[in-house]
């Protein structure tokens, strides 16, 4: 069998995601006939049918579904390898750490201080605001490690759970439940919840609407960087009946939507401490899953610098036991 080229994988992924040759060709910036010919050539190379094509629809075969899943991993891996190679040439001596803008810097600052005590380790460069988020920055090779909050897409990543803190309800100050000492999720079941832009994943939607279940740990394989990986929610899908609030992009928009009475929201306790304001009320929720602060890095990495950073992160987080460290 002839070797499959990365270009052919990318062609197939576009068609498989669009399930439409015209849209896939437009996405790839090419004409439709050569794209169709390339998919046919790929099927002949593999000796299997990847797509069921009729005049009305395109559908994946079972073999095509496998190639879509595994092909994404392979294509991302090649792109990440190229990016890491380029960074090794132009950013030698740097460890790039991706974080989400707006997150508190107390924990990250302590991690960097602990990590930097070893003069043999590369200097830390903090990357804010990657378009796809910190997890994508690591997966694509733009960053070496990330400090972020769950939930996020953990494909291709190992993780270390650093902190877990309570989440609480953010309500308009004049909300009927604003004066309660404690709530349960059922008290807010009929309230509209904001929708985070780009969070189409059911597990993420369940988390933000409070219909998820607590996560469970698992173990990483790379020596020197033992990891705890939050499990997927058991209750994914129960959020389907939650009234939809406005789409938001950041914590400021979220809290403004709440203050205006357009939604209620669940936020980490440290976020409530950081954003106290007169038009908002924050009330504990007794049966809500916690907010988890996590370190994430490529599951193929056994970098000494990454391992040292993760150890420093775990040590720094241990020092924050019982405190709120990241907003």
Length in residues, the chain? 327
Alpha helices in the chain (DSSP H): 6-18, 21-28, 32-46, 62-90, 106-115, 134-139, 202-208, 251-259, 269-274, 304-318
pLDDT: is 35 or 272 the higher one? Answer: 35
pLDDT in tens, 68-101: 999 998 988 898 888 888 887 777 789 999 998 6
pLDDT score, position 220: 41
Residue where a domain terminates, one of 46, 65, 85: 85
- Whether 1 is in a domain gets the answer no
Residue where a domain terminates, one of 62, 85, 108: 85
Domains in the chain, number: 2
DSSP 8-state symbol, 150:
S
Q: Are residues 97 and 81 in the same domain?
A: no
Q: What is the mean pLDDT of residues 104-109?
A: 78
pLDDT score, position 264: 95
Question: Is the pLDDT confidence value at 120 over 60?
Answer: yes
pLDDT score, position 285: 94
pLDDT: is 130 or 220 the higher one? Answer: 130
pLDDT score, position 219: 39
pLDDT score, position 213: 63
- Whether 46 is in a domain gets the answer yes
Q: Are residues 45 and 162 in the same domain?
A: no
> Can the peptide bond before residue 226 be classed as cis, meaning omega within 30 degrees of 0?
no
Question: Is the pLDDT confidence value at 152 over 50?
Answer: yes
pLDDT score, position 302: 82
Q: Are residues 19 and 141 in the same domain?
A: no
pLDDT score, position 107: 87
Residue where a domain terminates, one of 22, 53, 85: 85
Closest by Cα among 319, 300, 316 to 308: 316
Question: Is the pLDDT confidence value at 192 over 90?
Answer: yes
Confidence grade of residue 222 (pLDDT, cut at 50, 70, 90): very low
Q: Are residues 68 and 200 in the same domain?
A: no
pLDDT score, position 209: 87
CATH number for 174? 3.40.190.290
Distance CA 8, CA 46 (A): 12
pLDDT score, position 242: 65
Confidence grade of residue 129 (pLDDT, cut at 50, 70, 90): confident
Question: Is the pLDDT confidence value at 40 over 60?
Answer: yes
Q: What is the mean pLDDT of residues 20-37?
A: 95
Q: Are residues 80 and 130 in the same domain?
A: no
pLDDT in tens, 300-318: 888 999 999 999 999 999 8
Q: Are residues 256 and 238 in the same domain?
A: yes
- Whether 117 is in a domain gets the answer yes
CATH number for 13? 1.10.10.10
- Whether 16 is in a domain gets the answer yes
Q: Are residues 79 and 97 in the same domain?
A: no
- Owning domain of residue 58: 6-85
pLDDT mean across residues, the chain: 85
């Amino acid at each position: 069998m002839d070797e499959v080229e990365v270009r052919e994988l990318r062609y197939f992924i576009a068609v498989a995601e669009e399930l439409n040759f015209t849209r896939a060709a437009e996405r790839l910036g090419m004409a439709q006939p050569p794209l169709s010919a390339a998919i046919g050539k790929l099927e002949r190379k593999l000796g299997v049918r990847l797509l069921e094509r009729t005049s009305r629809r395109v559908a994946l075969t079972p073999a095509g579904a496998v190639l879509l899943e595994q092909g994404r991993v392979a294509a991302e891996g090649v792109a990440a390898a190229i990016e890491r190679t380029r960074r090794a040439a132009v950013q030698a001596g740097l460890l790039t750490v991706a974080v989400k803008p707006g997150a508190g810097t107390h924990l990250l600052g302590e991690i960097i201080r602990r990590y930097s005590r070893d003069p043999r380790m590369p200097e830390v460069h903090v990357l804010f605001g990657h378009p796809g988020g910190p997890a994508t920055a690591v997966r694509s090779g733009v960053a070496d490690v990330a400090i972020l909050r769950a939930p996020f897409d953990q494909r291709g990543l190992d993780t270390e759970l650093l902190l877990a803190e309570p989440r609480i309800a953010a309500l308009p100050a004049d909300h009927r439940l604003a004066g309660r000492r404690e709530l349960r999720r059922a008290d807010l079941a009929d309230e509209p919840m904001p929708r985070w832009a780009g969070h189409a994943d059911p597990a993420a939607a369940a988390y933000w609407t409070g219909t998820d279940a607590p996560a469970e740990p698992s173990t990483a394989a790379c020596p020197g960087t033992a990891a705890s990986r939050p499990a997927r929610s058991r209750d994914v899908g129960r959020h389907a009946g939650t009234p939809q609030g406005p789409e938001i992009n950041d914590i400021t928009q979220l809290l403004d939507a709440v203050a205006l009475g357009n939604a209620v929201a669940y936020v980490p306790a440290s976020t409530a401490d950081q954003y106290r304001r007169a038009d908002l009320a924050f009330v504990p929720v007794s049966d809500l899953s916690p907010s988890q602060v996590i370190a994430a890095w490529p599951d193929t990495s056994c970098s000494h610098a990454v391992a040292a950073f993760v150890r420093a992160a775990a040590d720094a987080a241990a020092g924050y036991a019982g405190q709120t460290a990241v907003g």
